[in-house]
Amino acid sequence: MPAPRRKKESPWVTLAWGLNLVGLAGIALVGVAYIALSPVSAAPPVEAQPARRATAALPATYTPDPSSKIVYLPTITPNPRSTLIVVQSPTPFALSGGAGTKPVIIGYSVSGRPLEVYTFGRGEKQRMIVAGIHGGYEWNTIALADELITHINENPEIVPDDATLYILRNLNPDGDARDHGYDGRVNDHGVDLNRNFPTNWAADWDRDGCWDYGPTSGGAAPASEPETKALVAFLQSHKIEALISYHSAALGIFPGGEPWEKDSIRFAKALAEVTGYKFPPLDTGCVFTGTLADYAVERGAVAVDMELSTHVYTDFTRNLKALKTLLEWER
């Protein structure tokens, strides 16, 4: 019986196998190249540091969960998108200073949530940090402020003898309570607080290149909002020399002034050097009106809008360096 004749493969099958092998080798080569070139060995784009809400060592009025623990003023019912509720700012601002100091409430939001300022030190040079102006959309700035408050309470010596530092941990608590996303950006009147300050104010603006994920406005008039009024009154009664207004995310550092004021540009560069945040910032073509930084510059401060690298992390280590720059800043 003849041995079964081995079927001779057609030249096309042989060619197909050959191509397969070449293909496999190609995939392997691409894989090796991908591993070699992939960003595994590159520095991570952001600090590998979980964002966290500070919960310890804060004064008793600290409210880590605005939805459950906020203390409302009597007779004011929390009511998102409510009609105007007139609130009264307590005056004068009796800020005592010193480590472990309790926050002073400088006013209330549309829905009656307190606007708290923490004070550290008793020196002549007055510095200020404002967080949360865009509420829950930029909630990590509030988390950063809380981390800084905790850190300074534990290390009060980092505030020089000749300085006083004010931290307004959350200028837009209604937005923070409403949503940690697009809907959390505006206050309970639907106003973008960083468009409501009485410098270069406009009710509306061309949305080209600007944030446009939801309806908002600059308010019915300059400083129409209780949050803005409270901070304007604070800035009018204090000689703040340098101010950082925190935002997120990733666009960089924007000096105050229109056009940018020269000392605020120097301040932005100094902050960029220690934090790694971009200066000049990303130019998206947006025209900014009625910003806190512009108003602070008009009041004689150097001021910047400074963006954290993401909407998630607090970039604590970088911003501890920014704090040092803020505290030691000389014109």
Is the Cβ of residue 169 or residue 247 nearer to Zn ion in the bound state? 247
Helix axes 139-154, 316-328, angle to 10 degrees: 70
Polymer length in residues for the chain: 331
Is the Cβ of residue 78 or residue 219 nearer to Zn ion in the bound state? 219
- The rounded distance, in Å, linking the Cα atoms of 137 and 202 is 22
Segment contacting Zn ion (CB under 5 A): 38-46, 145-153, 241-249, 291-299? Answer: 241-249
Segment contacting Zn ion (CB under 5 A): 101-109, 245-253, 254-262, 273-281? Answer: 245-253
Is the Cβ of residue 189 or residue 247 nearer to Zn ion in the bound state? 247
Query: C-beta of 138: minimal distance to Zn ion in Å?
Result: 5
Query: C-beta of 134: minimal distance to Zn ion in Å?
Result: 4
Is the Cβ of residue 131 or residue 177 nearer to Zn ion in the bound state? 131
- The rounded distance, in Å, linking the Cα atoms of 108 and 208 is 32
Size of the site for Zn ion (CB under 5 A): 3
Is the Cβ of residue 138 or residue 298 nearer to Zn ion in the bound state? 138
Structure tokens at 54: 């500070």
Q: Which of 169, 195, 247, 318 binds Zn ion (CB under 5 A)?
A: 247
Ranges within 47-106 binding Zn ion (CB under 5 A): none
**Which of 160, 292, 169, 166 is closest to 240 using CA atoms?**
166
Kindly list the distances between the CA atom of residue 206 and the CA atoms of 120, 191, 210, 245, in Å, as whole numbers in the listed order.
40, 16, 8, 23
Nearest residue to Zn ion, scored by beta-carbon proximity: 247
Is the Cβ of residue 116 or residue 138 nearer to Zn ion in the bound state? 138
**Which of 219, 233, 246 is closest to 310 using CA atoms?**
246
The helix (H) or strand (E) run that includes residue 42 is: none
Segment contacting Zn ion (CB under 5 A): 14-22, 72-80, 242-250, 294-302? Answer: 242-250
DSSP letter, residue 135: G
Query: C-beta of 245: minimal distance to Zn ion in Å?
Result: 8
Q: Which of 134, 178, 195, 318 binds Zn ion (CB under 5 A)?
A: 134
Query: C-beta of 290: minimal distance to Zn ion in Å?
Result: 13
**Which of 54, 61, 49 is closest to 150 using CA atoms?**
54
Is the Cβ of residue 78 or residue 256 nearer to Zn ion in the bound state? 256
Q: In this structure, which long-range contacts are made by residues 207-214, counting pairs with CB atoms below 8 Å and at least 24 apart in sequence?
A: 208/285, 208/286, 209/284, 209/285, 209/286, 209/287, 210/284, 210/286, 210/287, 211/185, 211/286, 213/182, 213/185, 214/182, 214/183, 214/185, 214/186
Query: C-beta of 247: minimal distance to Zn ion in Å?
Result: 3
Query: C-beta of 199: minimal distance to Zn ion in Å?
Result: 17
Could you give the dihedral angle defined by the CA atoms of residues 250, 62, 320 and 243, in that order, rounded to the nearest 10 degrees?
Answer: 70
Query: C-beta of 177: minimal distance to Zn ion in Å?
Result: 17
User: Which spans of this chain sit near Zn ion (rule: CB under 5 A)?
Assistant: 134, 138, 247
